[in-house]
Structure 1
Amino acid sequence: MAFDPASLKFTPDGLIPAIAQDAETGEVLMMAWMNADAVMQTLETGRVTYWSRSRQAFWVKGETSGHVQELLDFRVDCDRDCLLLRVRQTGPACHTNRRTCFYTAVRDDDEVELMKPEV
């Protein structure tokens, strides 16, 4: 059966959450938004493309930073309202220059920073 992006359940704004995961380690790297065109561009090029809500524009991960996400596996969840992108990450995934965006933990009511930015 051929994949049809129209089968995805987008928000009223036309977006769907996409979770980027390191395909080798399983580490969750980040979450960003895609629209139908970003989904198709990602599948066609193998370079992960998101939709920037703040800029209202496409955002090809790594285009300016060099921190590219190469798509290795594209998955749709059971409700078809969330995507899992298994990627090969070059450099840090987070705009703060950390490997992952999920570097803050809450432990005993305190926030704990789990990693420092890469140099």
Structure 2
Amino acid sequence: MFDLSHDPLFELRDFFNLHNEAIQNAALLLGSRPALRRNQALLDDIAAAPRLNNRLRRELAALHALLTLKHAHDPDRIEAACFAEIDPASPIVEDLCLLTEAYQDVLIRTDDNFFPDHLAT
């Protein structure tokens, strides 16, 4: 029998609820106010989404790119300036790494095809 009460995004919602403040702080630190606004909208979208759709997947991937510093070396992007301001010896670096790893894990558990090309380890 099919369980209609099953929430396919339960773990993702739970992760964002538990790490709401850390995600917002990371977005502000790594991408300034535009990233913060984008991720605040993502938090709202996750709370309301019945399932993973293309737009939500795109926004989750954008947060992953931010956390993994995908654009930190592109001088035409704000992430480069934000990244340059971070002291590598700061304890926040370890916190960001742990948040990123946990986020990546929950993305894979939510949809094992979320990273089909580059996260096989």
Do both share a fold (TM > 0.5)?
no
Q: Identify the TM-score tier after normalising by the shorter chain.
A: under 0.3
Could you say which structure has the higher strand fraction?
Answer: 1
TM-score by length of 2: 0.25
TM-score by length of 1: 0.25
Could you say which structure has the higher helix fraction?
Answer: 2
Q: Which has the higher contact order (CA 8 A, sep 6+)?
A: 2
